[in-house]
Amino acid sequence: MQGQAEVDAEPRLREAAKLTLRQPSTIAIDGPAASGKSTIGGLLADLLGYVYLDTGVMYRAVTWAAIARGIAIEDEGRVSLLAEQLKIDVVRPTVDDGRQYTVLADEQDITWEIRYPEVNQGVSPVSTYPGVRAALTAQQRRIGRRGRIVMVGRDIGTVVLPDADLKVYLDATLEERAKRRYREVVARGEPAEFNAVQASVRQRDEIDSRRTLAPLRAAEDAVVINTTPLSVDQVLERVLGLVNGWQAEE
């Protein structure tokens, strides 16, 4: 009987191993502001048991640290130096207040500060600086190389991990994205005005798409999903479909 059980188990194990082999190990998710990248990326990483890295957090951390230290956003030299020296850590939530993760800059918890309007205002200009991008891209690649990761940003599929196994680009109309961001801000209990939120999202999109270095765009081999009419569950379902239908290139 024992022998029979072993024989029966074999195809099941083979099947399971095949399934693991078939899963993409590095998953890049890009898209414009408030397109749902962070929500989908976080949920997907949880389901797969992968590491989740939201690279926008790193650009925001540099921007906040510059503001907190009195460095002018326009001071490219000092901001770039700061990006090289700042120790940014994204770790499991240390406080139970609805956060997806805790963000530390030189050991200081700045999880909520990086969402302040002045950071929204400064982050896109900061992200155009080559020195800032070089410093952060190097860190992101180091983390990406370990595999089993969902990395979210603007240039992951194009620049940071051009060899990612699966690339997804999430899009939605400006109005829909502004609505989503507005609801997020209101849910945090912060004062918000819809038109101001929409203007801020539009302005960041413009700077992010027009910059010469690593501009926001879908990689040629990315699967583009228009999320405008879709719920979070529907987007997640589509992305999971891509993960499960993924075939490794020979």
Shortest spacing between CB 34 and ligand CDP, in angstroms: 5
Shortest spacing between CB 96 and ligand CDP, in angstroms: 22
Shortest spacing between CB 188 and ligand CDP, in angstroms: 13
- The binding site for ligand CDP (CB under 6 A) comprises 33-34, 38, 55-56, 59-60, 123-124, 127, 153-155, 204, 208
| Shorter beta-carbon distance to ligand CDP: residue 25 or 139 | 139
| Shorter beta-carbon distance to ligand CDP: residue 48 or 126 | 126
> Half-sphere exposure (CA, 13 Å, Cβ side) for 241?
8
Shortest spacing between CB 24 and ligand CDP, in angstroms: 19
Q: How far is CA 137 from CA 19, 94, 221, in A?
A: 31, 26, 20
Edge-to-edge strand order for the sheet containing 223-226? 51-54, 149-153, 26-30, 166-171, 223-226
Phi, psi values for residue 7, rounded to 5°: -60, -45
Q: Which residues, other chains included, contact 115 with Cβ-Cβ below 8 Å and sequence gap of 6+?
A: 60, 188
DSSP string, 100-119: SSEEEETTEE-TTGGGSHHH
Other Cβ atoms within 10 Å of 248 Cβ, number: 10
| Shorter beta-carbon distance to ligand CDP: residue 33 or 225 | 33
| Shorter beta-carbon distance to ligand CDP: residue 11 or 159 | 159
Q: Which residues, other chains included, contact 15 with Cβ-Cβ below 8 Å and sequence gap of 6+?
A: none
**Nearest to 50, CA basis, from 73, 82, 72, 28:** 28
Q: How far is CA 106 from CA 2, 60, 64, 120, 246, in A?
A: 57, 14, 12, 21, 39
Shortest spacing between CB 244 and ligand CDP, in angstroms: 26
Shortest spacing between CB 4 and ligand CDP, in angstroms: 54
Q: How far apart are CA 157 and CA 30, in angstroms?
A: 7
